[in-house]
Each structure stands twice: as structure tokens, then as C-alpha cells.
């Protein structure tokens, strides 16, 4: 499909989008990309991916979990990436590429494939609106119904899919991808190589209201912004509130799932990962390399130490000060302590019965003593 292009005022010159084509890779090329050791036909070619138990000729697959090894001897995949440590029990028909970690290598290839697909998209679809003061870098793609406000700065190779809205003075770094319907409010900053999935809202007002004597609430204006650093990925329908003053900050390398709420003035540390339906309250400071399970909730104005591991549905109501600890439950307890408490809770009915039996025995002994 070709894309009709109109060059907006103040933007770089745009060209027709290139026509998508089927990408094909040989085993030799793939081995070079993942630094793997090739076993079999170096000229074997693939153009798509498939699960090892379902893959067909012309597809690439992988085997990382030994539990599924039996599929390796039956698969029709042309090329399979496997762990270097795997010792074959039977012959295989596929060309093999051995790597230290098959799962990581396969993820690398998927990312490269996706990158090549998106690189084909350039130009500006109509209808769309681009303010005359906005500046666009090279090889930018602007999908239909995109709105780009005043003084927006967009870097090179940025992809804006249909329905994206960029408020005034928003900055988007090189090689970032904003999927359909993403909304970035005024003054917010998105770094390089950031991916934001469909429906996410960045920079909406923080939840700030001042209680009044008559029982009403006066809105506190939220005049800060959101800063998202490089190589962050944010899932679909996530919301990140702008700061009351200053910035809500998502540090480099953070990975966020779908349906997450990040409140105003929160700071998420480098390489932290957050699973779906987590809510982080205002002014919370999350350290580096923290792992959140799904549906975690935090109180506001607390800090969470580097390397903390938070189990799903944990409620954190006070700061975690020691790094590299695991937590579970509501209120949050250190993981081993939480497990002991769960065991004790499970045993409570039996303990209650034993206490009642002991009470009866004591009463009986006292009665016998009185009658003696």
C-alpha cells in the first residue's frame, strides 16, 4: 500500500512510504545476528516465525525449555534456535543455531524483525494536523488523524500511528514508536527508542484537590510535566499523571505492562518492571531494578529500595528501606515472614480446637481437685 504524503510547514521533506515486502533471512544471516553456532544448511531460509510444535517449512522457531524438547525432533520449522548446552537425543531435520540463551536470542530476532517492518513506514497520511511551528525529523511516519500541536519536536525515525495526539511543546526522541490513540499532554518529554502502546495517556492531571470547610474540594492546578527517559516501553491503556510541580519521571529502561496508573510526582527507577493493574500513588520514589507483580498498590509519599521484588496483589503502606528484599501480602511483609503467617493462618481452626480441648481439660482437673 502506498501512502499519500503532504509536507507540512516547518517539517522535513517527506516521501512516499515504501511498499511493504516479505523479508527473508538465511540461517547464516541469523547465526551472524545472534552470534550463534550453525548446524545444518546455512542457506535454509525463513520469512516468518512459529511455535516449535506448530511451525511449518519456511518458519523460524526456538527451544529454550527442555520440557518441550520432544517437539524438536518432530518440528517442520526450517530453522530452530536452541541452547548451546542441549545434547540431542535423536536426529533433527531442521537447521540448528546454538546460542548461550535461546529465549534471549529469539527475542532479539523478533525485535529486529519488528524494527525492519516499522522502518518501512514513512510519510504523512491524510487527514492529519501538524502545526506550522512543529518540527519533524527524517523518516518520520504520521498516521491518519494524528494531531501535532505547536512547537512540538519530533526526532528521526519516529512512528506515530493513527489517532496519536501530541500537545503543545511535546518532545519525542529518535526511533520512538507511539501506537494508535496515544495521548501526550502539553510540555511532556519522551526519550529515544521509547515504545508506547495503544490508548496510553501521558501527562493528564494529577489527582490533587484541597478540602474546603464546606465539604467541597478545590482543584490544585497540575503545572508540571512527565519525563520518560530512553528505552522505556509502556503497555496499552496505561496512565501517567503530570506532576503538580516539577516532573513525574520514568527512568531509562523501565518496562510497564498494560493498565497501570502512575500518579503525580512519582519517580520510577532505572530498569524497573511493573506488571498489569499496578497503581503507584503520588510522590512515591521507586528504586532501580524493582520488580512489581500484578495488582500491586502503594501508598503515597513512600520510597521503595533498589532491587525490591513485590509479589502480585501486595499492598505497600510504608517505605521499604532495605534493598533486594521480596515482599508479599497486605500490608506488605517480607516474603518469608508472609509465608509463615499464611501457614499460621491456615492452622488457626485446628489451634482453636486444641485450645478449647485444653480449656475443657483444665476445667475438669479443677473440678476433680475441688471434689478431692
304 and 219 belong to one structural domain: yes
Query: Is 264 among the residues known to form the active site?
Result: yes
CATH number at residue 308: 2.160.10.10
Placement of cell 500491586 in the chain: 296
Same domain, 95 and 201: no
Which of 21, 71, 197, 264 does the annotation list as catalytic? 264
Question: Are 139 and 121 in contact, with CB atoms under 8 Å apart?
Answer: no
Q: Is residue 314 part of a domain?
A: yes
Task: Indicate if the pLDDT at residue 96 is higher than 90.
Answer: yes
Q: Which of 114-132 are b and which e, b meaning 16 or more Cβ less than 10 Å from the residue's Cβ?
A: eeeebeebbbbbeebebbe
Q: Is 253 part of any domain?
A: yes
The string of pLDDT tens digits covering residues 46-66 is 999 999 999 999 999 999 999
Q: Quote the pLDDT of residue 112.
A: 84
186: in domain: yes
Q: Which of 110, 144, 164 is the last residue of a domain?
A: 110
What CATH number does the domain containing 65 carry? Answer: 3.40.1390.10
Count of structural domains within the chain: 2
Query: Could you tell me if residue 13 is inside a domain?
Result: no
Please check whether residue 225 lies inside any domain of the structure: yes
- pLDDT at position 340 over 80: no
What is the band of 22 on the pLDDT scale with cuts at 50, 70, 90? low
Its domain, for residue 55, covers 25-110
Q: Which residue has the higher pLDDT, 106 or 2?
A: 106
Q: How much is the pTM?
A: 0.79
Domain co-membership, 104 together with 198: no
Q: Average model confidence (pLDDT) for the chain?
A: 91
pLDDT on residue 14: 42
CA angle (258 as vertex; 223, 254 as ends), nearest 5: 65
H helices present in the chain, as ranges: 27-34, 102-119, 335-371
pLDDT value of position 328? 92
For 155-171, what is the mean pLDDT? 98
Window from 126-135, 246-255, 339-348 with minimum mean pLDDT: 339-348
Amino acid at each position: 500500500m502506498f501512502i499519500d504524503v503532504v509536507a507540512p510547514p516547518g517539517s522535513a521533506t517527506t516521501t512516499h512510504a515504501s511498499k511493504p515486502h516479505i523479508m527473508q533471512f538465511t540461517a547464516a544471516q541469523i547465526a551472524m545476528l545472534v552470534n550463534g553456532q550453525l548446524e545444518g544448511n546455512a542457506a535454509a531460509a525463513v520469512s516468518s516465525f512459529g511455535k516449535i510444535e506448530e511451525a511449518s517449512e519456511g518458519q523460524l522457531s526456538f527451544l529454550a525449555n527442555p520440557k518441550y524438547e520432544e517437539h524438536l525432533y518432530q518440528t517442520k520449522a526450517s530453522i530452530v534456535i536452541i541452547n548451546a548446552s542441549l545434547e540431542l537425543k535423536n536426529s533433527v531435520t531442521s537447521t540448528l543455531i546454538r546460542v548461550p540463551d535461546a529465549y534471549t536470542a529469539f527475542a532479539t530476532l523478533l525485535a529486529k524483525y519488528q524494527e525492519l517492518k516499522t522502518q518501512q513506514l514513512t510519510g504523512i497520511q491524510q487527514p492529519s494536523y501538524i502545526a506550522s511551528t512543529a518540527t519533524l525529523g527524517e523518516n518520520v511516519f504520521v498516521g491518519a488523524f494524528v494531531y501535532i500541536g505547536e512547537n512540538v519536536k519530533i526526532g528521526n525515525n519516529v512512528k506515530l500511528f493513527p489517532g496519536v495526539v501530541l500537545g503543545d511543546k511535546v518532545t519525542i526522541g529518535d526511533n520512538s514508536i507511539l501506537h494508535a490513540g496515544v495521548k501526550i499532554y502539553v510540555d511532556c518529554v519522551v526519550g529515544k527508542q521509547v515504545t508506547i502502546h495503544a490508548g496510553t495517556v501521558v501527562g493528564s492531571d494529577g489527582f490533587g484537590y484541597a478540602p474546603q470547610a464546606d465539604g467541597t474540594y478545590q482543584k490544585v492546578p497540575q503545572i508540571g510535566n512527565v519525563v520518560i527517559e530512553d528505552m522505556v516501553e509502556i503497555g496499552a491503556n496505561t496512565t501517567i499523571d503530570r506532576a503538580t510541580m516539577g516532573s513525574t519521571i520514568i527512568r531509562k529502561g523501565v518496562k510497564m505492562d498494560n493498565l497501570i496508573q502512575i500518579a503525580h510526582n512519582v519517580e520510577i527507577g532505572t530498569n524497573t518492571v511493573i506488571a498489569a493493574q499496578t497503581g503507584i500513588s503520588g510522590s512515591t520514589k521507586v528504586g532501580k531494578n524493582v520488580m512489581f507483580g500484578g495488582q500491586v498498590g502503594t501508598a503515597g509519599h513512600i520510597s521503595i529500595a533498589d532491587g525490591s521484588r513485590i509479589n502480585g496483589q501486595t499492598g505497600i503502606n510504608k517505605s521499604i528501606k532495605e534493598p533486594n528484599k521480596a515482599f508479599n501480602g497486605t500490608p506488605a511483609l517480607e516474603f518469608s515472614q508472609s509465608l509463615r503467617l499464611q501457614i499460621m493462618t491456615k492452622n488457626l481452626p485446628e489451634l482453636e480446637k486444641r485450645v478449647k480441648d485444653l480449656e475443657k481439660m483444665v476445667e475438669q482437673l479443677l473440678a476433680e481437685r475441688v471434689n478431692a
